[in-house]
Chains A and B, each alone.
Chain A
């Protein structure tokens, strides 16, 4: 964040971009994130959320992180309530329409203990894309005349130098770290994504560091048999962690849908007990378990099977 173009290039040049193995544990991956970093979160709302990585950042006791995501769901509550970050740049922030407005987001933002920096969805996408393209800004035609634009101090309205039309310029966003979860990835970081891509490719190519969690690690030979399916290349990836059910209780396309019973439980807990409820949740599901397997055991076999059955059904005719 705040890097000049030359600094961005120097940071990229300094990364080991060779074809090398970079498989590590969740704990090692969390250590790649420095306090104060701007962290971009892949996926959208309840989908392909890199939940295990956020879980690991909380357990590692990170602090002063700022975050961005296209749309933010329950992971945003956990970021605020755990204290790892007080600033989330996003376009929409709550668990999901069916569960209503997040009590936790409200409690933290209305008391000014944390900031929800609101940008339009497309403007966030174009900020990452500008970052991925190595240009300082992107022009766009929405947001003009709205209070969303009026309350932001880092965008500019100009007259197009070619046509004279009014356009808004949004600045490039080059995150310090991108957290992304995919279905398949090799040990070098070649990542294949099934289904919806969201903003993940732009996020990865914009970031100075990319941590990839994957449902399974596949061989490089397997990647080379279908290189057209590789959406993020190894040259951009700095760490690979194999984490089955790494989005749980959110969704991973074709593998599992959201864990709806668990999410209903979370919604009820936070509606009834607000901050006390989320504190209980963090203790029980994030800080308490010995490891990711124990966390999954807490979610329960019944919920895992139900989410998996629904998830795989996307491939049924």
Chain B
């Protein structure tokens, strides 16, 4: 293990998220950090990992330096096993073929609910955001990994709008609402890897990244967060991981 290579916050996100994926999984990935993380995992420890893209691609091979601008362009289809209609690729989530969904969001709250629709009061928003896309379907129907920057304005007590459901109001409320499967598996940030309490479904810190203090995490979180007295610390990104990432995204479109 070497710590010689400096890395950006986005690279840290991609590396830490990629490590959560295991060989053989079927991963529904958006562009940006999710795609980089899934591809990194595929190249380093999960050659049997299958990527799905919302645009209708099953099992592609992402070409380094040609990262797609969305999950719906021809660049997503390189060496894919199958192309299928959007509705049918989304139905794979409902049928139960997908192990992990991978996404970001503008806001996340204590129970892992994500907002990508409105900042402020939805009927009179300060900012109209681009919306759910497939986020709501992915969050409703599979285990989700969320990757985002750890900032107080993003980690809020209650999201302004539940675009993609996490554990709703905690406890059994997700299943009670009819979402009987899935949930938020992990939230990965540039400060920590976070999980959820088995009973209350409240977010908690699983591990801090190297050099990060518990206070730093608390200061950047808008709600009370459980952190163990002597928390686990993640291994910093390795040279091998950073090399693959920089090979995939040489122009630093997503990792600047």
Contact = CB atoms under 8 A, between A and B. Distances in A.
Contact of B70 (A96, A141, A253): A96
Interface stretch (A20-28, A97-105, A217-225, A275-283): A97-105
A126 B128 contact: no
B73 A93 contact: no
A251 B85 contact: no
B180 A258 contact: no
Contacts of A144: 140, 165, 177-179
A202 B85 contact: yes
B164 interface: yes
Interface string A107-134: 0011000001011111101101100000
A311 B180 CA distance: 42
A96 B87 CA distance: 20
Contact of B178 (A90, A145, A196, A311): A145
Interface string B182-199: 000000000000000000
B72 A44 contact: yes
Contact of A167 (B30, B129, B137, B178): B178
B84 to A, nearest CB: 7
A148 B136 contact: yes
Contacts of A71: 70, 72, 133
B75 interface: yes
A197 B130 contact: no
Contact of A145 (B75, B125, B162): B162
Given A142-B136, A257-B73, A126 B87 contact: yes
Nearest to B253: A98
A274 to B, nearest CB: 14
Contacts of B77: 195-196, 253, 314
B136 to A, nearest CB: 4
Contacts of A105: 128, 130
A244 interface: no
B70 A196 contact: no
Contacts, number: 185
Given A122-B90, A197-B85, A253-B74, A91 B174 contact: no
Most buried by A among B140, B162, B168: B140
A46 B141 contact: no
Contact of B73 (A46, A122, A140, A143): A46
A190 interface: no
B117 A118 contact: yes
A153 B143 CA distance: 28
Nearest to B178: A166
Contacts of A261: none
Most buried by A among B32, B128, B130: B130
A97 to B, nearest CB: 6
Interface in B149-168: 161-165, 168
A93 B130 contact: yes
Interface string B66-108: 0001101111111000011111001101100000000000000
B54 interface: yes
B136 A92 contact: no
Given A102-B130, A157-B178, A251-B74, A142 B87 contact: no
Given A141-B178, A144-B177, A46 B163 contact: no
A313 B73 CA distance: 13
Nearest to A119: B132
A31 interface: no
Nearest to B133: A92
A198 interface: yes
A228 interface: no
A110 B126 CA distance: 8
Nearest to A127: B87
A4 interface: no
B127 interface: yes
A235 interface: no
A165 to B, nearest CB: 7
A44 B168 CA distance: 30
Interface string A146-166: 111001000001000000011
Given A106-B128, A116-B131, A165-B180, A121 B73 contact: no
B86 A145 contact: no
B57 interface: yes
B134 A196 contact: no
Contact of A196 (B57, B78, B117, B131): B57
A70 interface: yes
Given A106-B127, A314-B74, A198 B55 contact: yes
Interface string A258-289: 10100000000000000000000000000000
A70 B86 contact: yes
Q: 7 tightest CB-CB pairs across the interface, nearest first?
A: A125-B87, A145-B177, A166-B178, A142-B140, A92-B133, A144-B178, A120-B136
14 contacts: A44-B86, A70-B86, A90-B131, A91-B131, A92-B130, A92-B131, A105-B130, A120-B132, A120-B140, A143-B137, A144-B179, A145-B168, A202-B87, A260-B69
Interface of A: 44-47, 70-71, 90-94, 96-98, 101-102, 105-106, 109-110, 116, 118-123, 125-126, 128-129, 140-148, 151, 157, 165-168, 195-202, 251, 253-254, 257-258, 260, 311, 314
